[in-house]
Structure 1
């Protein structure tokens, strides 16, 4: 979510720079992902000036070009060749001087000194669409006669410069999804050092002008809609918004639409309360009804898509039909249009679970649903309604033509929480003092009902949907105080303890250090993830999913069963930011429900496994003139995974290999212990369909190592030492023509079956399929390393062993020498 620096300063008077704000907000739990300078017109009109066409005559070598001289306030007139049909002497115009960059969407165009049909041109006289101040391209933009020559275009058009602060909101911090919410946190933090507070625009002057457009409201489903309010405004004029309002929306990446819609968006990002404006003419029967419709009902939304409604989709209806999917998306007929004169303005509080399920069913993710899914403030409903109504009356004209309808049968009370000073000190690790604690709580608008020597009795407002326990309140105190302000002790108390021979922590550390040394980066993904990943799965399915009773969002509704999806999210995130060449690994637990019938011993209902996931995608090596570019491969990842297993004592001769595939992995192998009792790793290629779901273009290679089984095998592993042989090794190579279904593991296992004493290693160094190889066949180039630790091998001995190998490969695998 983006916050405008200038917009934020409308609510709090602070001299902090955007960079200082970044540090403060991140420290208080609103992590800043980045800061970007934005301008109301792209490029800020730099290099453009107001000029006057002094002379204008037809180009000697063209029927449609004109040769002009233009005064831009410098000592010399600029010769400019212009192709516009309306250019004439005496006009005041916008001139792009040499070196100016003009923007057309993402494309850039630099004005250069040029010769056009033999005539010199030192600039460009611009049309309004060429500089981003309008859409017309019929001719050059002609300015009023009193325009001052030499004035920078940025001053003439009042270009605003601002900073967009990108905040990476966590699902529990929906209170920060508005400028006022951010200002409240900022004021609470700064208040510790100086007297500062944030201010909300007053709505005290809200008044009803007449009662000419009363529209009654009925809420048929109060469970899904705890509070619904509305008011009518008649006689509005739909037009463009004023510059200040458009600039505010542009600063956070929104495109202005019209004054009424822009005001609802403005109040949404100001207060965090979504609003919707209906064309009153479309409210058939002059009544608004909040209810669900029959399953299968067809409804066309604003994006012109026809959707089939579910029986639990909450709808805002008139007396005849649905007008809007409540809290999610408007209908195509009831929205504000150029012809709209009277509007019904809605402000409501919807149940997060209803909204979340509806948004998920229809694949919709809007600014409104984003907030309703996480929980909005029921106490802010009327304030936002009044604020928007007053702005509409001020900007679009009209009169407030009804009393506010407010249906709120069961008001939501503040959360009552008891917190003790002793627990605050214990969990934070520092005594903050009672006065500072109370100052922070008041800054967060948490009411102190009673204070005793041991603690406080508090009322937490509903805007903080996640602060309901003592630990939650303590976390609020800590984040506003500042995590960085908790000193690290100068002394660390430690005690000696027995460490088992095969320490899991040490094993993880060795594996992590090995991967990091090979160019991998460690990632951490959330153990809470999307239920949709497992809803229709075969390998990981809904039956074994551990679900949360009251998830904060649909994106964090279940416990993960695999590290694959979190890794793919990280790959997609990086690839979208021009970082597609990746080597990643993650240690993490996966969680499973053992069965649908829950047992009395709750621990028997669930299973927890630790895994190590390894991912490779993109180019094999960083681009360099010394290394040719090549894509990562399955075998590259296989070598890394097997190298880790070897380091853990699980050599190839201790493992069996089988191929597999499923809906997640298109091709892969499973490595298990020789007795088949434990699966230690799966290595494969992520299925193209799954990559497409995450919008990943490059192939992704994935290895899943079972840490639990690797640690168990480590207990049985014995490190053996042997003297280095003084006799040389001998290598022999075979080029084998094989059926495509034959795996290298079969060749290796057969080779060691033939020769156990002298054969030291078997390696595959080339695979070929193509010209000269029959269809259904492939060529493997395999090397065999032999050594006798007691004497030097002789050629006859070596040849005898190789003949045995060739015979067995032919007999067992139908392998032929090439």
Structure 2
């Protein structure tokens, strides 16, 4: 974003030098990437003055040269050799003194004036032509001035030569409000606490209405506001010097006075405008709509583009419907643009939907000053003011009269943003207590009103041009950037904070996540009836909590009780599929169970898993393999891992339900029970193959789940692995060995894993575990001495508690 230092002064009083302004803007978040001095004439005509030719004689050694003496206001006249045919005594001329640096038109190299001798005659300067000064292209002769200014007057003063400073701002995409000189001045107003003013448009007046134009907006979503007027009797021509210099400073080439004004307003106020040749607006009607997909349209650059039915177009009325004239907010059309012969225009000022403009600009790969602003969000309250400002400028520099009323179609005004604020959040996030009065003052300077203020809260009313300020955190950021980051002192310890509360876990989303995990592992979901047979519960009498809930008006004896477990409804599905030769099954169900506990009815949500048959089908590369307990345990481990549960207690279970299995507990509460079902239980439902079943307390697991992510710094020092082969009694489990290891070596032990188990005739009544131990010190690299000491402690524990034999 390019900003003119002088142009900023039109809106706010500035006494600071450009470098100071750059520091202030950077402090507010508008990072200044560079400041460059821009001169309307390169070099600024330093050392060039007005002089008067006192004498003019023919050079004795050259027919085309003349010897002159020129009064430049110095103590003595200068002797200058001149070759211009029109030089004569008594003329007021432009003289470049010795040492002056000129940048002639069309030359890439500067011309440095030196004292010299030309054909033996002393020359102490140069009487200049237009092109030699770099202010034009003529070289027919020297410039002869008609002026009464005293000799020695600066040529820069005579020509009105001035310098400006270009301030280059690295504008971030969210700061669309600062994409203009007025927008940047608003930030300076807040940080300098000085008044800001817009150019006066009170002189706006409609001269006559004989060129009124009809406007029809057919797509209010894409164009919430559309304004326009006509100006007649104007003359397209060259822009005045001040306007060309303003545009030149920010890198914009002058085209003609009408187009230059639209560009000027765009960069002054941030409101893009477009001028149409009024005689080329079909039916004197402007229609804002979309056109048929594939409609050809030639843009101002002479390229034909195929329109989409998603491109908003500004159209005239044609014989066969709307005739496109301009891609709204992006690029004008070749046929309706302003040309040298234009005498009347329709001037457009609108607020277009950022989504529509962005989509069209991306589709055509067109990035213009207009689309840059519209696709980020312009001020919906600016179009009419900008229209009047532009109309007055056009009438001033191009003549003409405002020949229609202002059309302003704005059926649903864009409302201010209302944001609930808490003072404690402001103080907490900034890290410093600013006080309510200072907070209100800063917000008012930013055009953010404070309403409904109490001791702890208030409502911030944010104008719609601040499209990036729609949350409490955004308002706090605004306060901080104006207050000044550098004014917040650093505490002895650094910390961070946040505004957002962590969202409550959505049970349905969590359930969907686990369902997708199970489906990815080859499981199919079941949805079963909650009513079941009373005889099922009798099979597990004594092992189920509470008593069954009976249906008073049941329709069938088989559906007379509410299920106390998901087991039997799942086994019915297994039996149904097995009887139809679908014996390799992986099934899961999210469902509810029901019990009567004393005088209360209890409803709980559970998750059940069933696996039976072959885990792996036979193929040419591998034989089929039956399901084992470890296949079910692996899936259970994945589910618990997805729920961020990795530390739990294990306990063996058996009884009327499980032939063998495990109960996993967290906080001494069982979260899942898994194992192989009793053969007799499965045969009751005519299932002959072993069935592996897992029952999750889903309701409790949902409460335990947290979406927060805990981060731990990656250790700087390496891990070390040591292996032991341990022979123990056959009844000793690896879990017991693992827990004993963690109790023995609490500081360095990071992981314990079994990678081989051996039972054989030579180990009667015993088994051998091959166990790996991972050790790590997060403060230093482990030495062999420390590692050996830890391993000796582990060996001693195993020998003492399990009468283990350590195989070497």
Give the TM-score range, shorter chain.
0.5 to 0.7
Name stretches of at least 5 consecutive residues in structure 2 with no aligned partner: 496-509, 518-710, 722-808
Aligned to 2:784: none
Aligned to 2:285: 287
* Shift in alpha-carbon separation, 1:335–1:76, aligned structure 2, 3 A: farther
- How big is the shift at 1:81? 3.7
1:37 is paired with a residue whose SS is strand
- How big is the shift at 1:318? 2.0
Structure 2 residue 393 is the aligned partner of structure 1 residue 395: no
**Larger displacement relative to structure 2 (74-83 or 460-469):** 74-83
1:99 is paired with a residue whose SS is coil
Aligned to 1:405: 407
Structure 2 residue 49 is the aligned partner of structure 1 residue 37: no
- How big is the shift at 1:136? 3.0
* Shift in alpha-carbon separation, 1:224–1:85, aligned structure 2, 3 A: farther
* Shift in alpha-carbon separation, 1:27–1:55, aligned structure 2, 3 A: same
* Shift in alpha-carbon separation, 1:493–1:376, aligned structure 2, 3 A: closer
- How big is the shift at 1:717? 8.0
* Shift in alpha-carbon separation, 1:85–1:221, aligned structure 2, 3 A: farther
How far does the alpha carbon of each residue in 1:557-609 deviate from its partner, in whole angstroms, 9 at most, with x for none?
Answer: xxxxxxxxxxxxxxxxxxxxxxxxxxxxxxxxxxxxxxxxx99439999xxxx
Aligned to 1:168: 170
* Shift in alpha-carbon separation, 1:94–1:376, aligned structure 2, 3 A: same
How far does the alpha carbon of each residue in 1:457-493 deviate from its partner, in whole angstroms, 9 at most, with x for none?
Answer: 122111011111111111111111111111112x327
Where do residues 269-288 of structure 1 align in structure 2 (5 Å cutoff)?
269-288=267-286
Where do residues 610-625 of structure 1 align in structure 2 (5 Å cutoff)?
none
- How big is the shift at 1:272? 0.8
Aligned to 1:2: 2
Where do residues 321-470 of structure 1 align in structure 2 (5 Å cutoff)?
321-470=323-472
Aligned length, in residue pairs: 508
* Shift in alpha-carbon separation, 1:454–1:604, aligned structure 2, 3 A: farther
How far does the alpha carbon of each residue in 1:63-86 deviate from its partner, in whole angstroms, 9 at most, with x for none?
Answer: 655444433222444343444443
* TM-score normalised per structure 2: 0.59
1:120 and 1:599 mapped to 2: Cα distance? 98
Contact preservation (8 Å) 1:160, 1:247:
no
1:229 is paired with a residue whose SS is strand
1:332 and 1:141 mapped to 2: Cα distance? 41
2:166 and 2:298 mapped to 1: Cα distance? 34
Contact preservation (8 Å) 1:91, 1:145:
no
- How big is the shift at 1:289? 2.0
- The correspondence for 1:215, drawn from 213, 218, 224, is 213
Contact preservation (8 Å) 1:35, 1:165:
yes
* Shift in alpha-carbon separation, 1:344–1:152, aligned structure 2, 3 A: same
2:396 is paired with a residue whose SS is helix
Aligned to 1:137: 139
1:158 and 1:236 mapped to 2: Cα distance? 27
Structure 2 residue 126 is the aligned partner of structure 1 residue 128: no
1:482 and 1:602 mapped to 2: Cα distance? 47
Contact preservation (8 Å) 1:92, 1:147:
no
* Shift in alpha-carbon separation, 1:127–1:224, aligned structure 2, 3 A: farther
1:402 and 1:12 mapped to 2: Cα distance? 33
1:11 and 1:138 mapped to 2: Cα distance? 43
Contact preservation (8 Å) 1:237, 1:397:
yes
Structure 2 residue 57 is the aligned partner of structure 1 residue 52: no
* TM-score normalised per structure 1: 0.58
- How big is the shift at 1:314? 2.5
1:468 and 1:324 mapped to 2: Cα distance? 32
1:319 is paired with a residue whose SS is strand
- How big is the shift at 1:359? 2.3
Aligned to 2:540: none
Where do residues 186-335 of structure 1 align in structure 2 (5 Å cutoff)?
186-191=188-193, 196-320=194-318, 321-335=323-337
2:714 and 2:453 mapped to 1: Cα distance? 52
How far does the alpha carbon of each residue in 1:99-126 deviate from its partner, in whole angstroms, 9 at most, with x for none?
Answer: 2111247542222333445544332222
2:58 and 2:293 mapped to 1: Cα distance? 69
* Shift in alpha-carbon separation, 1:53–1:336, aligned structure 2, 3 A: farther
1:378 is paired with a residue whose SS is coil
* Shift in alpha-carbon separation, 1:712–1:375, aligned structure 2, 3 A: same
Contact preservation (8 Å) 1:79, 1:121:
yes
Where do residues 795-806 of structure 1 align in structure 2 (5 Å cutoff)?
none
- How big is the shift at 1:182? 1.6
- The correspondence for 1:178, drawn from 177, 180, 183, is 180
- How big is the shift at 1:58? 5.1
Backbone CA RMSD of aligned residues: 3.1
Contact preservation (8 Å) 1:188, 1:480:
yes
1:374 is paired with a residue whose SS is coil
1:206 is paired with a residue whose SS is coil
